[in-house]
Amino acid sequence: MKADVNTDIRQFILKTFPLARKRGIKDGDALLETGMLDSQGVLEVVSFIESRYSMMVPDDDLVPEHFRSIGSIAAYIQKNCSAV
């Protein structure tokens, strides 16, 4: 299941964020530090997570640690979503 979640997240980020497409990304690449994701981008990722995985992301979970990379986003989903 882990690979599927990572693939979903990577495809969404590549489709949604032009800078990610331009640079190409790996699961461990820094999304926030490189500017591929900004605060608005994080909200778009949260919206994707909530709709794709039918889970709520509480405001308390909107911390950089959860959105640093594709791997950290996938790990957050796997930890918090019973459907994965």
Per domain, the residue ranges of the chain are 2-80
Interval 37-66 mean pLDDT: 95
Interval 41-55 mean pLDDT: 96
Looking at the whole model, is its pTM more than 0.75?
yes
Confidence of residue 23 (pLDDT cuts 50, 70, 90): confident
| Residue spans of alpha helices (H) in 1-84 | 2-16, 18-23, 39-53, 64-67, 70-80
Interval 8-13 mean pLDDT: 96
Query: Is a pLDDT exceeding 90 seen at residue 55?
Result: yes
Residue 58: the pLDDT is: 96
Q: In sequence order, what are the residues at sequence separation of 6 or more whose Cβ sits closer than 8 angstroms to the Cβ of residue 1?
A: 78, 84
At 36, which amino acid appears? Answer: M
- CATH, domain 2-80, list 1.10.1200.10, 3.40.309.10, 1.10.10.10, 3.40.50.1820: 1.10.1200.10
C-beta of residue 38 within 8 angstroms of C-beta of residue 13: no
